[in-house]
Amino acid sequence: MGIGDGIWAYDLARGTLTRLTFEGNANYIPIWTPDGKRVIFQSYRAGTARNLFWQLADGSGGLERLTVSEYTNTPFSFSPDGRLLAFVESEAQAQAPAIWVLRLDDRKAEPLLKTRFDETGPQFSPDGRWLAYVSNESGRFEVYVQPYPGPGGKSQISTEGGRQALWNPNGRELFYREGSKMMAVDVTTEPVFSAGKPKMLFDGPYLMTGAQYPNYDVAPDGQRFLMLKPVEEAQAAAQINVVLNWLEELKQRVPVR
């Protein structure tokens, strides 16, 4: 998790926090590698743009830079075998965000979806054969799926807008957020890809960021969600009573002997 400018790991069983990053500043958006051995994140530490770095989760071995770019790189999803990383490169205000794929074996990055529209939020399917993402090509953000690495066309998953898509670990369902609603869509990939009708799972006041990286996660069983909920502020007093001449009233109630 990100706390301030640092990356920390929280041990659920022990209830302890361990700091992972100490160098540089502005370390954000950590994600685990599939084998749980490393954490990748974006950081300003090597220049003016947030590039990608990773390090061992136990803090040993130091940091390693993965991308060298003058633009912001945001990590999103690893392929199941951990060899590929889907990330988004945001160039400038005049250039729409684009989806790139980084090969971890040789550190080579190539654009996958780079158009005049905003393409972001890439998520590899559990079998690595499909990529879910978000695009505003229709005039609003919707969730799409396309085969990876292809060939084949894309399928629109959401129908009334959608952001922050995540796969159910079983690969047969896609989740996404539509405002305060958590939506789910059944999908099949054999013999061809098809998607069912979106259905609402629940609606609640959970935190939603303006960015496209998911502000929630799905448990391995696909039945539970880890959500962020804002802290309820103390309610302001609806009425204030002011008592005048309270000392005289006190003397009447408690006579002085």
Residue 17 covered by a domain: no
> Would you state the torsion angle of the CA atoms of residues 196, 197, 201, 206, taken in this order, to the nearest 10 degrees?
110
Residue 85 covered by a domain: yes
Structure tokens at 15: 């209830």
Q: pTM of the full predicted structure?
A: 0.84
Residue 173, classed as helix, strand or coil, is strand
Asked if 100 contacts 110 with a C-beta cutoff of 8 angstroms, the reply is yes
Structural domain range at position 101: 71-253
Write down the pLDDT at residue 212: 75
pLDDT tens for each residue of 96-138: 899 999 999 999 999 999 999 999 999 999 999 999 999 999 9
Residue 66 covered by a domain: no
Residue 32 covered by a domain: no
Write down the pLDDT at residue 105: 95
Residue 112 covered by a domain: yes
Asked if 145 contacts 130 with a C-beta cutoff of 8 angstroms, the reply is yes
pLDDT tens for each residue of 45-85: 777 688 999 989 887 878 899 999 989 999 999 999 999 99
Residue 219 covered by a domain: yes
Residue 185 covered by a domain: yes
The number of domains in the chain is 1
Residue 45 covered by a domain: no
Residue 205's domain is classified under what CATH number? Answer: 2.120.10.30
